[in-house]
Structure 1
Amino acid sequence: MMRGALLALLLSASPAFAVQPDEILSDPGLEARARAISQNLRCPVCQGEDIDDSNAPISRDLRLAVRARLVAGDSDAQVVDYVVARYGEFVLFKPRVDGSSLILWLAGPAMLLAGAAIALAMTRRRAGAAEAESLSAADKARLEALMKK
């Protein structure tokens, strides 16, 4: 009785994968590649889970497609390209840095640099204005003379 409870506790604490036994490839090397690819592919339905963790039917279809492409001899990049061609860049947890996404990748640092440049220019302008507003020695002497009257 105690062993059964301990086993149930250990099984519930382990990570839950949605990969079904009939999906697992017999070749451990290909299966490891499939798992690595699947961890970087987002479930189109769940959106917050990779396809290995998702129980959605579309995730099962994607897992089977990934494994079928690997068995057919595709490289990891070709498999990812195959999935992206059908579902778009959205399925990638780590979007590629090319084309239009390059603008998004560079927008953050560019805005940070632009903000720093504006802040620096404003600080220098204020310092220059403060120096221009300070009185010359002749003006100070004249002011002193007016104040004593």
Structure 2
Amino acid sequence: MGYITHVRGEFGITPPLTWNEFKDSPFSPFPPAGDARIELVLRVDEETVETNDGPLQRRTASALVMSEIDEYRAYGLLEVVQRAVDAFPGHTFTGRLDCEGEENTDMWRVIVRDGRALRIEPRIVWPEDGNQ
């Protein structure tokens, strides 16, 4: 048992990763890496390209997304995002992960800014006139 966090969102990757860049990565959704059950995986796009030797399947990874986990505990999420960013130098990660815990005040986001994964917490601001 433990504190459950619901996570939505994704990080787009520009330029998309090539097969050679991600095939042996722990973030790859394909075995053997795909058997590790890491919380973040690459979303892979597949395209069939006609060549002189016949059809060729091209795989690229265009986003980093959450794995399908029923009861996720986000204790190490920030570190895993940073590992992914560090694993693919020369690529930009844009987007965010929105995280919401079991308590209604537990909301935060993970973003990537200047190659660093950051946890951002919201600020609650009252209007200047407290009668509104």
- Smaller-chain TM-score bracket: under 0.3
Give 1 or 2: higher helix fraction: 1
Higher gyration radius (CA): 1
Q: Which has the higher strand share?
A: 2
